[in-house]
Amino acid sequence: MVKMMMQKLARLPHQIAYLQFNLFDSHDIHRLHNNPDVSWEGYRGAVIMLFTFPGTPNIYYGDEVGLDGHIETMEGCRYPMVWDEKDQDQRYYELYQRLAQLKLKDEVLQRGGFKILYAEGDVLSYARFTDERAYISITSQEDKRCTVRIPVGVLGVDKDSKIKEEFSYSSDYTYEDGYLNVTLQKEEALLFNIKI
């Protein structure tokens, strides 16, 4: 996956990469969250990547509320929108709302640099960064708990940097000698906001 991402970005002029139209669901592609093989945590990681990757995130109607569907036929990705809030899954809405606010308001996610920091097994971590701040996305598709060492020192992060997990999802991390040591649960995705 990392190789494919880097090939895609390498083919594009820098300014064009930041204008890409990123999506993983559409009227021609089954909704990722309707796939029974994709867990909530796995889906959550994909959405974090959608909003933190360079470019513009495209939200297919209904993804933001967990719209029903199936993956057996094309009609499975074209269910009508559910407008009644009591029938919507608020976990999805809260995730999309939070990430959309970050993308809209934060220059780091709009125009910041991009660097892959870690790619081993089924764990991927990359940074969006400026001279003063960084977001570190860490997404695991591992089927068990694992610990990773993310080299954040290359971004200028040091012992005095302020590090927080954006969703207060995990506190199982430490900084040591230029590395962010993170213990991830099965299929966990984290987004760190760092003031360098």
The larger pLDDT score, comparing residue 75 to residue 156, is at 156
Tokens found for residue 64: 């933001």
pLDDT digits (tens, 9 = 90+) for 44-69: 999 999 999 999 999 999 999 999 99
pLDDT digits (tens, 9 = 90+) for 152-172: 999 999 999 999 999 987 789
Last residue of a domain, which of 72, 106, 140?
A: 106
Q: How large a percentage of the chain has pLDDT more than 90?
A: 85
Q: Are strands 179-184 and 113-120 parallel, antiparallel or unpaired?
A: unpaired
- The reply to whether 131 and 146 lie within a common domain is yes
Last residue of a domain, which of 45, 72, 106?
A: 106
DSSP 26: B
pLDDT score recorded for residue 17: 84
pLDDT score recorded for residue 93: 97
Number of H helices, E strands in the chain: 5, 10
The CATH number of the domain where 139 resides is what? 2.60.40.1180
pLDDT digits (tens, 9 = 90+) for 122-147: 999 999 999 999 999 999 999 999 99
- The reply to whether 101 and 37 lie within a common domain is yes
Compute the distance between CA of residue 41 and CA of residue 141 in angstroms, rounded to an integer: 9
The larger pLDDT score, comparing residue 190 to residue 3, is at 190
Task: Give the pLDDT band of residue 1 (cuts 50, 70, 90).
Answer: low
| Whole-prediction pTM | 0.94
Domain count, the chain: 2
**What mean pLDDT do residues 32-40 have?**
96
pLDDT score recorded for residue 126: 97
pLDDT score recorded for residue 159: 95
pLDDT score recorded for residue 170: 76
Q: Which domain holds residue 69?
A: 2-106
H/E element holding 123? strand 123-129
Last residue of a domain, which of 78, 106, 134?
A: 106
Q: How large a percentage of the chain has pLDDT more than 70?
A: 99
